[in-house]
Structure 1
Amino acid sequence: MFHHLDSALRSLLISSMPAGTEISFDTPSPAWARHERTAPALNLFLHQIRDDAKVRLGSWIERRDGAGRLVAREQAPREYRSCYLLTAWATDIDQEHSLLGSALAILAAHETIQAPYLPEALASTGFPVTVAVANPALPCAGTDLWSALDIPPRAGVDLVITVAVVPSVITDLTPPARRIELGVAGTVPAPANAPASGPIDTQVREHVNSDARKLPSDGRAERPDSGSDGH
């Protein structure tokens, strides 16, 4: 995914930057910074990625066929913020500031990256790839970054690109039930070789009639003899 973002940013910037400007995504190490350049360069250093949990797009999405049967499930897309530090590199500070200003103007004019700059792999998700430039509310590169990279500090622009990641569709689902068997309390279980209907009701009636024949003629059940003292 990130190489697709790099490709989109390169295509967008190179379309309007002065001819011959190089676009680099290398980590600006001391060796890279000391490299003798034959052309001015813009460096976009991807220094962190953040999950944008505040804009979660839901939980699970169910996919059903024409008959309403569940055929697939997928997690809702998740958005991630890719945080770049944009710096300019040239033979003198005036040229560096000119390059940085030109790049800032190009990026600020685009709230989203669209065709023809957007690779198909990102365009096919159906979600926008948004651009935020020097937004203080979003993650930024701290001043300690330069000491961590072991190079002198220089002017830079914080750039945050937000992109959606669409999880894979899950189609290995438990098959739907083909038959549901319900039991009724107090009924007589059917013999193993009995048909599915008819004889079960007959057996229940015969069982009830058999119990009824055991009752006295007045229809009341006999009470057990508790003794002659009446207690």
Structure 2
Amino acid sequence: MIHEVDEVLKRIIGGGALTGSGVDVSLEAPTRDWAARRNAPAINAYLYDIREDVARRQRGTTPVVDDRGAVLKHRQPPRWFRLSYLVTAWTKQPQDEHRLLAAVLATLIPREILAADELPGSLGALGLSVPLTVAGTQTESRSLAEIWSALGGELKPSLDVVVTAPFPAAPEYDAGPPVTEGAAVRVRGIDGTLEGSPERSHRSLRPADPASTSAGGTGSGGRAPFRGSEGPQPR
């Protein structure tokens, strides 16, 4: 999941206002060694913090259904994690770095929500939209000064970008097979025997069965009516 968020963020930053600019987007740690190897303008998006967003944690299970609506499995709701990126610009002139940061800001501000259809791999398969915040209030315990000190570099202007992404929880539980045959009911006679007792059956309808919407297919509440056999009914 983390590498998929990396891929999405790198694609978004490299697009928008920076499309066709030739500016490289790097995910490496912006250490002194990395800065020394750089020979062209670059945007660095360094993942410096990962922690769960406990306010989004849910209990229970959610059903996994097929295209007919039949329940195949039950799974626990995904856990949500805040992935915090330190986004910086690297050029030879501070003014150019500020222009690059402004371009990144203009690109990310409209992207408050990332739709599921633009997310790759297992992240998109969950079918959930992903929130993105930029330059918000920092809630992580580590300060930016501590981060730059750990990287061995000098403090630079930066944007704090947070992507809150779902992570599938395990395990999954297989559901029982769907009901394909109706129940049958036989009523005992006064003498307690089943001899001569008519059978009343209930025809089961699959979730997407066209018969469920045909005339006489269902009664009130979406249930098929009982159909008794011909002949006298037991008293």
Q: What range describes the TM-score normalised by the shorter chain of this pair?
A: 0.5 to 0.7
Q: Which secondary structure state, in structure 2, belongs to the residue aligned with residue 109 of structure 1?
A: coil
Task: Give the TM-score normalised by the residue count of structure 1.
Answer: 0.65
RMSD of equivalent CA atoms: 2.8
CA shift for structure 1 position 74:
1.9
**Distance in 1, Cα, partners of 2:11 & 2:76:** 31
Q: Which residue of 2 aligns with 1:113?
A: 114
CA shift for structure 1 position 142:
2.6
Task: Give the TM-score normalised by the residue count of structure 2.
Answer: 0.64
Q: Which residue of 1 aligns with 2:51?
A: 50
Which AA in structure 1 matches 2:58? Answer: L
Which AA in structure 2 matches 1:30? Answer: R
Q: Which residue of 2 aligns with 1:100?
A: 101
Structure 2 spans left out of the alignment, 5+ residues: 177-235
Q: Which residue of 2 aligns with 1:10?
A: 10
Residue 110 to residue 73, structure 1, CA distance change in 2 (3 Å): same
Which AA in structure 2 matches 1:43? Answer: N
CA shift for structure 1 position 90:
0.8
Residue 147 to residue 131, structure 1, CA distance change in 2 (3 Å): same
Q: Which secondary structure state, in structure 1, belongs to the residue aligned with residue 113 of structure 2?
A: coil
**Distance in 1, Cα, partners of 2:65 & 2:23:** 51
Q: For this pair of structures, how many residues does the alignment match?
A: 171
Structure 1 spans left out of the alignment, 5+ residues: 175-231
Q: Which residue of 1 aligns with 2:145?
A: 143
C-alpha distance after superposition, 1:195-227 (max 9, x if no partner): xxxxxxxxxxxxxxxxxxxxxxxxxxxxxxxxx
Where in structure 2 are the equivalents of 1:53-68 lying within 5 Å? Answer: 53-61=54-62
Larger radius of gyration: 1
C-alpha distance after superposition, 1:134-154 (max 9, x if no partner): 111543753111111111111
Q: Which residue of 2 aligns with 1:224?
A: none
Structure with more of its chain in strand, by fraction? 2
Q: Which residue of 1 aligns with 2:189?
A: none
Q: Which runs of structure 1 show a deviation greater than 4 angstroms over 4 or more consecutive aligned residues?
A: 62-65
CA shift for structure 1 position 115:
6.9
Q: Which residue of 2 aligns with 1:154?
A: 156
Q: Which residue of 2 aligns with 1:28?
A: 30
Kept after mapping to 2: 8 A contact 1:73/1:169: no
Where in structure 2 are the equivalents of 1:82-97 lying within 5 Å? Answer: 82-97=83-98
Kept after mapping to 1: 8 A contact 2:81/2:165: yes
